[in-house]
Amino acid sequence: MQRIKGYHAHVYYDASTQEQARQLCEEAARLFPVTMGRMHQKPVGPHPDWSCQLAFGPEVVGVVLPWLALYRRGLVVFLHPLTGDELADHRDHAIWMGAIRPLDLSIFKQ
C-alpha cells in the first residue's frame, strides 16, 4: 500500500460563486491546519474550472473531509491524496463532492 503524504481539496467555483468559495476556503484555513492556495480565475492544471486548493496532512482528513461535505453549500469539491503518483491520485483515488467534472489527465505522465 502506498503511503499517503497529504491531501489536496480543490474547491471549484465561477464568477457567481467566487465569494462563497473564498469564505469556505478561508474558514477551513482558520479552523484546521490547512494551507489555502490562490483563488484562480481560470482553469489551472488538470482542473476544468476556476478553483482554490486546500492542502493538508493525512492526520486531519477525517475532520476536513466531513466539514467540507457539510459546509460546501453546493460547491463542487475534488479531493485527492498525495501518494507520489499524480495520475492515479487524480484518476483512481479521487473523492468528489457534487458533480464529477472532466479533468485533463493528459498533463500527467502515463
Within 13 Å, how many C-alpha atoms sit on residue 4's CB side? 17
Ranges of each domain in the chain: 6-107
User: Which of 16-21's residues contact partners 24+ apart within 8 Å by CB, and which partners?
Assistant: 17/74, 17/75, 18/50, 20/73, 20/75, 21/52, 21/75
pLDDT tens digits for 38-88? 999 999 999 999 999 999 999 999 999 999 999 999 999 999 999 999 999
- What is the domain class of 6-107 according to CATH? alpha beta
CB 38 within 8 A of CB 99: no
C-alpha cell of 58? 493525512
C-alpha cell of 15? 464568477
Left if phi > 0, otherwise alpha if psi is -120 to 50, otherwise beta: which for 77?
beta
pTM: 0.95
